[in-house]
Amino acid sequence: MTPFGQALRDLRRRRGVTQRDLAQGIGVSPAYLSALEHGKRGKPSFDLLQRIAGYFNIIWDEADELFMMAASSHPKVVLDTSGLPAAHTALANRLAREIRTLSPDMVEALEKCLDDARQQG
């Protein structure tokens, strides 16, 4: 599941809307909406995001959060390490191989490490 898929599912459930009703309301198939929620589809288009925000009549701040989650929700990420040191490429490849084995706590720790590095840099 992607961050966007989880957020959409949570929003839909909080509002008491079924996948079928939302799909019909925004003009997509229930199967597509299910695949989007489960992370089996890539990042949704801006047009689809606008239709979702309109369907739920959400305020701009909440819509912006949903849009940002969509931007970071492509389930098949490509990293370009060309021009970087070999250690960077090795790390990217190792992460690609082992990401499925990481616990939620370890993912959180890695995110904190990256946040700390950004603040120091």
* Extents of the domains making up the chain: 3-71, 86-120
Residue with more model confidence, 101 or 63: 101
Whole-angstrom distance between the N-terminal and C-terminal Cα of the chain?
Answer: 31
Query: Do the Cβ atoms of 73 and 4 come closer than 8 Å?
Result: yes
3-71: which CATH architecture? Orthogonal Bundle (1.10)
Q: Is residue 52 scored above 80 in pLDDT?
A: yes
pLDDT in tens, 72-92: 887 777 889 999 999 999 999
CA–CA gap between residue 36 and residue 5 (Å, rounded): 6
Helix axes 3-14, 30-37, angle to 10 degrees: 120
